[in-house]
Amino acid sequence: MTRITIRVEQAPFDFGAECARFAEGGADTGAVVTFCGIVRDDTGTLESMEIEHYPGMTERALTKIAEEAARRWSLSEVLILHRYGPLRPGERIMMVATASAHRAEAFASADFLMDYLKSRAPFWKKETTRAGSDWVAAKASDEAALARW
């Protein structure tokens, strides 16, 4: 049985503390993979990013994605945590973590969670630079990535 935790929150989260807790898993946990997404500012012009989501559907979609991962791989634990609201460059946006007996399953499932979360969970990013605000466009490569699974 996989223990699934879904958190959708506005407040910052402590990536280190979440990773530490995850790596204290039970006797059957041999491999932990964690992913953290961070607000990038390649061009040095980003002032802030706003994340909008669909309360209710978000939790529902993330739970379905986590359950699908638990069906496909043998996992002892899955965590998906995603923030919403205003964020600044360098801030942590979200994380996923998976725990399994074996590394291949921990890696594949975390990678899967990210691909599905990108295109199937109702979050939208809006970037504000000095020039103004605009919604981030979805990438065709993100939709295409789902075909891997």
Partner 1 sequence: MKLDVLYFAWLRERIGCARETVETEAGTVMALVEELRAREERYALAFSDLSALRVAIDQDLRDFDAPLTDAREVAFFPPMTGG
Which residues make up the interface to a copy of itself (CB under 8 A)? 14-21, 23-25, 27-42, 44, 89-90, 92, 101, 103-104, 106-107, 110-111, 114, 145
C-alpha distances (whole Å) from 61 to each of 1, 32, 68, 103 are 20, 23, 11, 26
Residues 81-100 that bind partner 1 (CB under 8 A): 82, 93-94
What's the distance, CA 125 to chain centroid? 14
Cβ distance to partner 1 smaller for residue 14 or 52: 52
Cβ distance to partner 1 smaller for residue 28 or 142: 142
Instruction: Please name the residue ranges forming H helices in the chain.
Output: 15-22, 57-72, 103-120, 140-145
# residues contacting partner 1 (CB under 8 A)? 29
DSSP state of 39: -
* Residue 37 interacting with partner 1 (CB under 8 A): yes
* Residue 15 interacting with partner 1 (CB under 8 A): no
Residue 78 contact among a copy of itself, partner 1, none, beta carbon within 5 to 8 Å by kind: none
Q: Phi then psi for 22, rounded to 5 degrees?
A: -65, -40
Q: Phi then psi for 21, rounded to 5 degrees?
A: -65, -40
Cβ distance to a copy of itself smaller for residue 6 or 100: 100
What is the C-alpha to C-alpha distance for residues 62 and 94, in angstroms, rounded to an integer?
A: 12
Nearest Cα to Cα of residue 123 among 84, 97, 94: 84
Near partner 1 by CB under 8 A: residue from 6, 33, 46, 51:
51
- Positions in the binding site for partner 1 (CB under 8 A): 37, 51-54, 56-57, 60-61, 82, 93-94, 103, 114, 117-126, 135-138, 143
